[in-house]
Amino acid sequence: MKDIEILEIKEIADYEEGLSLLLEDSVNNGASIGFLAPVEKNEVVNYWHEVNHKLTQGNSRLWITIQQGKIVGSVQLSLVSKKNGVHRAEVEKLMVLTTARKQGIATLLLNELEFFSREKGLRLLVLDTREGDVSELLYSKIGFVRVGVIPSFALSSNGNYDGTAIYYKRLV
């Protein structure tokens, strides 16, 4: 792990360009994170503005990894505001720059997210990912439990409808 720094960001402004490049790289290289390739610049900008709104409202948290002055990864945690769900949160949009993969960056980000979650008193994390995606190996390795698959959940950039695998992790 060469000089990797993890930061929690409360405001997107100073990081928008790097986050936009990360999102474009992820989507255009096959990530299934709610966009279709090739992703359009205005979609990316609008997305980060929506995330910024959630951050400023306190509904989301965002961590980034910086390596050699460049954003190489990010992950989000969406907090539940419903009274019966304040003990849980959803892991969203784990991304690592294509050129920075296989260095443990995703694991570092998830460890940081989990540390925050435990400190905040959360008891349950949930997430979903494309069925068969390499991320399934990571989630299983760090203790997430696969519940099952919803078939034909999301349209993929290749025109197929892919299933989504649902995972959870108890933080007790």
pTM of the predicted protein model = 0.95
pLDDT per residue rounded down to tens, the chain (172 residues) = 568 999 999 999 999 999 999 999 999 999 999 999 999 999 999 999 999 999 999 999 999 999 999 999 999 999 999 999 999 999 999 999 999 999 999 999 999 999 999 999 999 999 999 999 999 999 999 999 999 999 999 999 999 999 999 999 999 8
If residue 80 lies in a helix (H) or strand (E), which one and from where to where?
Answer: none
User: Domain containing 160: what range?
Assistant: 4-170
Q: What is the CATH number of the domain that holds 71?
A: 3.40.630.30
- Work out the angle at residue 17's Cα, subtended by the Cα atoms of residues 133 and 81, and round it to the nearest 5 degrees: 65
DSSP 86: T
Cα distance between residue 108 and residue 5, in whole Å: 10
Q: How many domains does the chain have?
A: 1
**The predicted structure's pLDDT at residue 2:** 66
